[in-house]
Structure 1
Amino acid sequence: MSSSPIPETLKIRIRQEAKNRCGYCLSLQKYVLGILEIEHIIPKAKGGTDDESNLWLACRLCNNYKGRQTEAKDPQTDEIVNLFNPRQQNWSDHFQWSEDGTEIIGKTACGRATVIALQLNNLIAVTVRTQWVSAGWHPPENL
């Protein structure tokens, strides 16, 4: 049985709430090649729903790396923890930008596990962020 598509009005509301940026790497829609996607925080394959409380905005890279994951290992403690939830948690409580603004540093177990699981500092992301920093577009403000 297939599910109904997410209504356009809900997609628009999520984009506005997310300030048109990825909930994980904070990439702004205006700088990303491709449309930011509505993602399921708890994937449907793991029982997640299309309810607004389970939906947020993510770039293709973050969404693809996240896949079906809902938890990952904190590399510092080896503890399995829940991944960052951009709808319920504050980004700056769990992450910060590196001094040069090109890498995301996890500040908590959740943040560190999410950085690794979603490969937030993959080569493509860091390369693009380097150019964004040079252009004065990055790191984003008003977190």
Structure 2
Amino acid sequence: MSSSRIPEHVRFRIHLQALNRCGYCLSAQKYVFGALEVDHIVPKARGGTDVEDNLWLACRLCNGFKGTQTHGIDPLTARRSKLFNPRSQLWKRHFTWSDDGLRVLGRTVCGRATVVALQLNNLIALLVRNEWIKAGWHPPQD
């Protein structure tokens, strides 16, 4: 969640580093209704800080579903795993898009646990992605 104590120049760098998109679902700022939020990768409630290495962008849906979670359960193996860290891990290593581009699919224990914990394929996300696909805006090509 965004904090007013994070200096504007740090926020600016995070937006640049994150390419103005959510680190979890890859939604681009230009396509989401609300401003992307500065997410604490390790939530402050779990001992995280406002240092830049603990901050990334998240859309309101992903940030809201993440809340104070730091771990999730992989539905395939039932293993507990740390959630995906968009600052230090590569999205393409842990996730892929379904063939129709609608759903985020986990490729690893971490990826699958994150898909479930952050509800990356919730109904609202699916409805919106479907419209983005029709418009030719989704899935991201990079």
Partner of 2:65: 65
Tell me how far 1:141 sits from its aligned partner. Answer: 1.3
Q: Which amino acid aligns with 2:136?
A: G
Partner of 2:99: 99
Aligned length: 140
- The ranges of structure 1 where at least 4 consecutive aligned residues each deviate by more than 4 angstroms after the TM superposition are none
Tell me how far 1:69 sits from its aligned partner. Answer: 0.3
Q: Which amino acid aligns with 2:135?
A: A
Please give the alpha-carbon distance, in whole angstroms, between the structure 2 residues aligned to 1:104 and 1:126. Answer: 10
Alignment of 1:81-100 (within 5 A): 81-100=81-100
3-state SS of 2:96 partner:
strand
Please give the alpha-carbon distance, in whole angstroms, between the structure 2 residues aligned to 1:9 and 1:141. Answer: 28
Partner of 1:80: 80
Q: In percent, how many aligned pairs have the same letter?
A: 64
Q: Root-mean-square deviation (CA), in Å?
A: 0.9
Please give the alpha-carbon distance, in whole angstroms, between the structure 2 residues aligned to 1:38 and 1:72. Answer: 21
TM-score (normalizing by structure 2): 0.97
Partner of 1:136: 136
Tell me how far 1:4 sits from its aligned partner. Answer: 6.6
Structure 2 unaligned residues grouped into runs of 5+: none
Please give the alpha-carbon distance, in whole angstroms, between the structure 2 residues aligned to 1:41 and 1:106. Answer: 19
Structure 1 unaligned residues grouped into runs of 5+: none
